Amino acid sequence: MISVDVEVEKKEILRKYRRLLRWAKPFLKGNDAKMIKKAFKTSLEAHKDMRRKSGEPYIFHPLAVAQIAVEEIGLGTTSIISALLHDVVEDTEWEIKDIEREFGKKIARIIDGLTKISGVFEYGSSEQAENFRRMLLTLSDDVRVILIKLADRLHNMRTLDSMPRNKQLKASSETIYLYAPLAHRLGLYAIKTELEDLYLKYTESDKFQEIIKKIKATKASRDRSIRNLIKPIQKEISKLGYKFEIKGRLKSIHSIWNKMKSQNIPFEEIYDLFAVRIIVDTKLEQEKAASWRIYSIVTDYYQPNPDRLRDWISTPKANGYESLHTTVMSNSGQWVEVQIRTKRMDEIAEKGYAAHWKYKDTAGQESGLEEWISKVRELLEQDDTHSAIEFMDNFRSNLFQEEVFVFTPKGELKILPAGATTLDFAFDIHTEVGAQCLGAKVNQKLVPLNYKLKNGDQIEILTSSKQKPSEDWLRHVVSSKARSKIKDVLKEEKKAAALVGKEVVMRKLKQMKIEATETTINRLTEYFEAKTPLNLFYWVGKGKIDAKEIKKFKLASNYELATKKDKILDATSFEREKTKVKEQETDMLLIGEDMDIIDYQLAKCCNPIPGDDVFGFVTVNEGIKIHRTTCPNAAELMSNYGYRVIKAKWTSQKEIAFLAGLKIIGTDRVGLISDITKIISTELKVNMRSITVDSESGIFEGTIMLFVNDTIHLNLLMDKLQKVNGVVKVNRFDS
């Protein structure tokens, strides 16, 4: 039986390898095929006794990553070899020097960038953030490292079903926090969309399945609408003699869910559920004219929404995306987005960075994407002194979704992140101009440093040699370059103040007879809510924290609490050190791999209640905190501190009250509040903590904080309130 399975697996491995070669064939040169075969055999041998969690042979994974690299990203031989070998150094006895000897320096450098760091990390740092930094630093050297890493992440997300729940949450959070924005920034729209949808599948599985069900149910009517919409357009474009294709495209599940959540509307109320994409095959010099000609045909038949015209052909997005978007009213009374682009633009939109290289010679100029990568390289080279987590925050702020287009006094176009200020613009011109910036003239009018730039603004920066950056400036900038330069200027001043502060803290601890260990300093940092010990010393040095306040630390309850919970630092030590306590009637939560009953606190940022999908997070000195998987802080916590995440789920529900918030919107009438409070207090016997009501122009808006037993109790209450005459919407919110 086993031998038959092995034979079947061998055939499947061979089938996958041959498929990879078929895709690679068009661009193979010289001894490329030989090198790919060598890499495949090396990987097969190195991973021969390894299996994935799903039970399948490990070699399936590197083969799948190589397939994604070539088929979905459009990469070549070097990337295929690197993808096949990407886990060899990390998981087997092979070393980088062995890779270099067998496959050369270039491949070895890429594998080195893809290999995670292992070892012990100091307190306040994060293994995940350190590995992200290591990977991202390779942008300075070879962008293919990140493209292969995205292929690796995509395959891991596609096969996440076999992983335990806490690992699913950790991987999904990292994906939405870093990898999906990175895919977007590198122009890989198809991969970005799939990563976002897979994130939703594992964090909000009920919502994910519900949206899929509704999409299937409305498919027939949607297809009919698309057919009716494109019929006359197809006829007219054919008359012009263009080669073209028209596709109907549904919005991604994640973007549908985002819209439902941000606008508090049901699936049925999303008006632009699908888009129509018109792809025309034409010469480079005729692209712009052809696109506007097709736009003219579309708007001859359907009324466009003037506020929804987006021309990314004249001014492409910073990641190289080019397309013409308009939203038109169809004959059936639905708004439909129409995207018009050429075959070249479509390939760049789907394949991103790799497609840019294919068309680089024909386009003849550096793309916005290459300019962005140059800027990121500059940022990475300057940023080596910051902590890995700070570095991650800086980098993420550079993965902005939208841009603002502005001009210098001489008419030179500058592209900055949306939300950028005059100060961002000044630092973009030159570090010295930024550091001496007093204000600016925007369209000939004087504006302050924190003026937010708008598309089309023309900016002249005003400087003074007496001006110097202050810490407040960090609140007025959004670009990584500006933040990095301001921090560099402030760093020296901060070091001097921190040195003074450190002496004060050490002296005070000595007076209180508390040993100044690393653990004590970390507790003190947590007590004063400083991000790092350096910040704490700086605040003391600048007088923001009075030296007398340090005495309160000894008396504080969280100091005593921290002493008791000293041993629990992460999920591993939690499993090792946990003690089994007897079940009490009031315990509601099972925590950890063995599902034990342990002391915990409910996180105030998301107020979980029984029935919510939750996870446990081991804090530094407040024990275990329980968060909802949809908590606003979940993605960041799990991306930077995934090793502290532990399983948690609700068990038998006892009569305990948990705080929840409801937002109610409706049309105002006499007796409405009375009807609402009657259902809450009398009918369902729910205790209210507070109620605030605002009524304007006949519209009623109220927020209620109340105590419920669990999600079933809360949903029953919401259903009852929804039926009250005049109530339009009832939504839960994170208080």
Q: What is the pLDDT of residues 223-262, one digit of tens each?
A: 888 888 889 999 889 888 889 999 888 888 998 898 888 7
Choose the catalytic residue: 7, 45, 90, 594: 90
632-646: pLDDT as tens digits: 888 888 877 777 777
pLDDT at 585: 39
When the pLDDT of each residue in the chain is averaged and rounded to a whole number, the result is 80
578 vs 301, residue with greater confidence? 301
111 vs 352, residue with greater confidence? 111
At residue 83, does pLDDT exceed 80? yes
200 vs 468, residue with greater confidence? 200
Question: Is position 518 annotated as part of the catalytic site?
Answer: no
Which stretch of 210-219, 348-357, 673-682 has the lowest confidence by average pLDDT?
348-357
Percent of the chain with pLDDT over 90: 18
**Helix (H/G/I), strand (E/B), else coil: 136:** helix
Alpha helices (H) in 512-564, listed in sequence order: 518-527, 533-541, 550-555, 557-564
- At 371, the pLDDT band (50, 70, 90 cuts) reads low
pTM of the complete model: 0.68
CA atoms within 13 A on the CB side of 623: 14
Choose the catalytic residue: 7, 45, 91, 472: 91
Nearest to 554 by CA among 505, 499, 599, 601: 505
Q: What span, in angstroms and rounded, lies between the C-alpha atoms of 121 and 251?
A: 42
At residue 198, does pLDDT exceed 90? yes
Question: Is position 90 annotated as part of the catalytic site?
Answer: yes
At residue 702, does pLDDT exceed 90? no
What values do phi and psi take at 391, rounded to 5?
-60, -45
At residue 175, does pLDDT exceed 80? yes
Which stretch of 129-133, 359-363, 419-423, 727-731 has the lowest confidence by average pLDDT?
359-363
Q: Domains plus CATH for the chain?
A: 2-205 (1.10.3210.10), 211-363 (3.30.460.10), 488-564 (no CATH), 571-650 (no CATH), 658-733 (3.30.70.260)
Alpha helices (H) in 329-444, listed in sequence order: 343-351, 353-363, 368-382, 388-397, 422-429, 431-435
528 vs 180, residue with greater confidence? 180
At residue 155, does pLDDT exceed 90? yes
392-440: pLDDT as tens digits: 666 666 665 577 888 888 888 888 888 899 999 999 898 889 988 988 9
At residue 514, does pLDDT exceed 60? yes
Average pLDDT value for residue range 33-51:
90
11-35: pLDDT as tens digits: 999 999 999 999 999 888 888 999 9
**Helix (H/G/I), strand (E/B), else coil: 257:** helix
**Helix (H/G/I), strand (E/B), else coil: 371:** helix
- At 382, the pLDDT band (50, 70, 90 cuts) reads low
Mark 432-442 as b/e (b = at least 16 C-beta within 10 Å).
eebbbbebbeb
Tokens of 283: 């010469």
Tokens of 695: 């009524």
461-471: pLDDT as tens digits: 998 888 888 88
Instruction: Choose from 399-408, 513-522, 565-574 the range with maximum mean pLDDT.
Output: 513-522
Percent of the chain with pLDDT over 70: 81
Write the single-letter amino acid at 21: L
Q: What span, in angstroms and rounded, lies between the C-alpha atoms of 419 and 275?
A: 28
Which stretch of 240-249, 450-459, 549-558 has the lowest confidence by average pLDDT?
549-558
At residue 291, does pLDDT exceed 90? yes
At residue 582, does pLDDT exceed 60? no
Question: Which residues face 278 on adjacent strands?
Answer: 246, 340
Which stretch of 76-80, 324-328, 584-588 has the lowest confidence by average pLDDT?
584-588
Q: How many C-beta atoms surround the C-beta of residue 511 within 10 A?
A: 10
Nearest to 449 by CA among 435, 439, 463: 439
Instruction: Give me the sign of the Cα torsion angle 677, 680, 684, 687.
Output: negative
At residue 96, does pLDDT exceed 80? yes
Alpha helices (H) in 583-651, listed in sequence order: 634-640
Instruction: Give me the sign of the Cα torsion angle 598, 601, 605, 609.
Output: positive
pLDDT at 139: 62
128 vs 19, residue with greater confidence? 19
At residue 123, does pLDDT exceed 50? no
